[in-house]
Amino acid sequence: MRRACPYCQSSHQVGLDEYSLSPWRIVRCGECSFVYLANPVDYADLVEDQAWETNVLKEIERRKTDRPFSYRLSQLTRRRLKILGRPKSHRFSGVFKSGRILDVGCGKGENLPPPLVPFGVEISKNLSQIADKAMRARGGLCIHGNAVDGVKSFDSQFFDGVLLRSFLEHETKPLPLLIGLNRILKTDGIVYIRVPNFSSLNRRVMGRKWCGFRYPDHVNYFSMKSLSRMADKAGFRMRLVNRATVVVDDNIKAILEKT
């Protein structure tokens, strides 16, 4: 799949060879400077063939080879894999007080503790079935499908909150997704977002070995500026949660509010 800039739709691309890993091409938009993967896999392949559970195992093998001395599982990978157990703390849970919350890319649907009413969208068939069962028991449900289409099945202003934790970097259509989320969110609702921080100091120091690079799972590489700009275009204002430490943080953590 060939892809134009997800922010401005320009097909003018400047290759970033130092960050690419054949056959995966990381590029910078020649018009707006957004950094993204130019040749991601299709949605259809993600349903089973390239599902997270499978892909992450291949990626771990690459990292072992690539970083034999400094190699360690990132917290994100550990959380996704579940094989090493799952941290019980929900550090973002204080963000949402109550009501209906949508977890985009919800996995097994374990991220939203009571009293929140959990809803999800999940592209992996297997995981979405597990999540749907768990969420229905608590008044919610999980939709199987890609995020952009899944979000369309909800009514306007249905949700009190949306969780976009470690998801937007995987989404080939991040702007349409944010626009869709704006529609289904109540006027005073919020989106909690966490994505790898391409503007982090660590990325500059580590280069291609930076933990934020995942081939081909991460298809968008947001800086604070490019995330804020995209949020703005979708009708949100962005507020950093980790403002004090973001320069040295591998992740951007932010709250989006409707403008």
* Least distance (Å) between residue 234 CB and Zn ion: 15
8 binds Zn ion (CB under 5 A): yes
Of 142 and 231, the one with the shorter C-beta distance to Zn ion is 231
d(CA 203, CA 213): 9
**Which stretch, 4-12, 54-62, 142-150, 202-210, contacts Zn ion (CB under 5 A)?**
4-12
- Asked whether position 3 contacts Zn ion by CB under 5 A, the answer is no
Measured between alpha carbons, how far is 258 from 110 in angstroms, rounded to an integer?
A: 26
* Closer of 10 and 259 to Zn ion (Cβ): 10
> Is residue 213 involved in binding Zn ion (CB under 5 A)?
no
CA distance 132 to 121: 9
Shortest distance (Å) from residue 256 CB to Zn ion: 20
**Contact assessment for residue 6 and residue 32, using Cβ atoms and an 8 Å cutoff:** no
For Zn ion, the closer CB: 8 or 41: 8
Contacts of 8 (CB under 8 A, 6+ apart): 29, 31, 32, 34
Q: Is residue 7 within the footprint of Zn ion (CB under 5 A)?
A: yes
Residue type at position 176: P
174-184 vs 224-233: helix axis angle to the nearest 10?
50
Min separation Cβ 3 and Zn ion, Å? 11
Alpha helices, DSSP H, located in the chain: 43-47, 52-66, 75-81, 125-136, 147-152, 174-184, 201-206, 224-233
**19-78 binders of Zn ion (CB under 5 A):** 29, 31-32, 34
Total residues binding Zn ion (CB under 5 A): 8
Give min distance, CB of 29 to Zn ion, in A: 3
Write the interaction track for Zn ion spanning residues 220-259; mark x where CB under 5 A is met and - where it is not. Answer: ----------------------------------------
First CA to last CA distance, the chain: 34
**Residues at the site binding Zn ion, with contacts judged by CB under 5 A:** 5, 7-8, 10, 29, 31-32, 34
